[in-house]
Structure 1
Amino acid sequence: MRMRECFVAGLVALSLSSNAGAEAMFETFESDPASSWTYLADTVMGGVSAGSATFERDATGAFVRLAGQVSTDNNGGFIQVRRSLSKRLPSSTEGVRLKVRGNGDTYFVHLRTKGTRLPWQYYQAQFSTTSNWSDIQLPLDTFKPSGQFLRQTPRAETITSIGIVAFGRDHTALVDVHEVDWYEAAR
């Protein structure tokens, strides 16, 4: 009986450790993403961009689609889908990992931190899309501050939200995001 209990305990421990990686995944858009992701556009500041963030599924799985017309008219120029973080990231976090596809344009990830108190403050890194799913890694040191009064590089433990953004020029946006994750330095 004692040997059997040890075997069962070992299986439970193995199961928990193999699920730890799955739990570390920040977002796979499988479980009620509409409750945590919010669509925003420059219309909140008088801009005229129009779009949507829809949660969809195809043969590859669940994803969010950010689509619309970005216009720089009226000092506008963005549409985005954003999520606030419920937990702080560990300071060992090195960057953001995404699985994306799109219409071949360049898009951005915006990070907000405890130090980005004004609505127009963020840290930004860009990524390009193709019509096929691609894995993208964006190290935190590639994120640039939106203004001179922010730190040069965001600190992981201060990040409060992440946004996927079509930004800065007149264009038709279409980007799908299948996964959002954080990664740490290899040990």
Structure 2
Amino acid sequence: MRANFIGLVSGLAIIGCTMAQADGNITEDFFKSPETRWDYIADTVMGGVSSGQVQYHSEGDVAFARLTGTVSTENNGGFIQFRRKLPVRPDEGVSGVRLVVRGNGEQYFVHLRTRGTVLPWQYYQAEFETSDEWTEVSLPLSNFKASGAMLRSVPVADEITSVGIVAYGRDHDARVDVSEIGFY
């Protein structure tokens, strides 16, 4: 039991340099220079025309990342995201991704990349809804779908190499805030 807990803690600790304890789960809380850990990426890397940005804010004792922009499917595009490459992979006992979010009522996605997603367009994806209220979302790894037939059907926890928050797949204006994200 203790070894499993230590493995889980070390797997979760990779998400961020600053950590907060909330409901027994350790998560990235977006305090202390999150811009050094997270990168903004858009479909412009492949010729798309979507535009956006990620900014870091705080309201009282809550810090968060805000992804905003315009997603366009022109030129075979259709995404904006912010992503964190993980310096250490999660423990094999991890069963999902937990986040606290709010937004403009649109649907957004968590994308996971693994050691098996070697091509830029490969990922595992799970969707979540937003509202104007902070909401806790738990996404079991079994909810993540592979982007293509060459990948396993479900990601394996200790193979995960990055996690991203993505506005994807249809023309829309994006605004999603994330105050916590981690593995459980």
Shift of 1:181: 1.3
Distance in 2 of aligned mates of 1:60 and 1:147: 41
Aligned to 2:80: 79
CA distance in 2, matches of 1:110, 1:118: 14
Aligned-partner SS, 2:142? helix
Identity of aligned residues (%): 55
Instruction: Tell me the equivalent position of 2:137.
Output: 136
> Hey, what's the Cα distance between the residues in 1 that align with 2:93 and 2:101?
24
Q: Which runs of 4+ in 1 moved over 6 A?
A: none
1:17 aligns with none
C-alpha distance in 2 between matches for 1:85 and 1:170:
30
Write the letter of the residue equivalent to 2:39: T
Q: Which runs of 5 or more residues in structure 2 are unaligned? A: 1-18
Is the partner of 1:82 in helix, strand or coil? strand
C-alpha distance in 2, partners of 1:154/1:181?
16
RMSD, matched Cα: 1.5
- Superposed counterparts of 1:164-183, under 5 Å: 164-183=165-184
2:9 is aligned to none
Q: TM-score, normalised to structure 2's length?
A: 0.86
CA–CA distance in structure 2, aligned partners of residues 153 and 161 of structure 1: 15
Q: Aligned partners of 2:89 and 2:145: how far apart in 1? A: 20
- Structure 1 CA distance for aligned equivalents of residues 53 and 78 of structure 2: 14
1:67 Cα deviation from its structure 2 partner = 0.3
- Rounded to whole Å, the distance in 1 between the matches of 2:81 and 2:114 is 17
Give runs of aligned pairs for residues 109-128 of structure 1, distance below 5 A. Answer: 109-128=110-129
In the alignment, what sits opposite 1:152? 153
Alignment: residue pair count: 164
Residue 21 of structure 1: CA displacement? 7.3
Tell which structure's C-alpha radius of gyration is larger: 1
On the 8 A contact 2:20/2:28 being kept in 1, the answer is no
Instruction: Say whether residues 1:95 and 2:100 are aligned partners.
Output: no
Change (3 A) 1:21 1:172: closer
Q: Name the SS of the counterpart of 1:43 in structure 2.
A: helix
Q: Distance in 2 between matches of 1:68 and 1:111?
A: 21
Aligned to 2:109: 108
Deviations 1:138-173 (A, max 9, x none): 000000000000000100000000000000000000
Aligned in 2, Cα 1:53/1:21: closer, same or farther, shift over 3 Å? closer
Partner letter of residue 57 of structure 1?
Answer: S
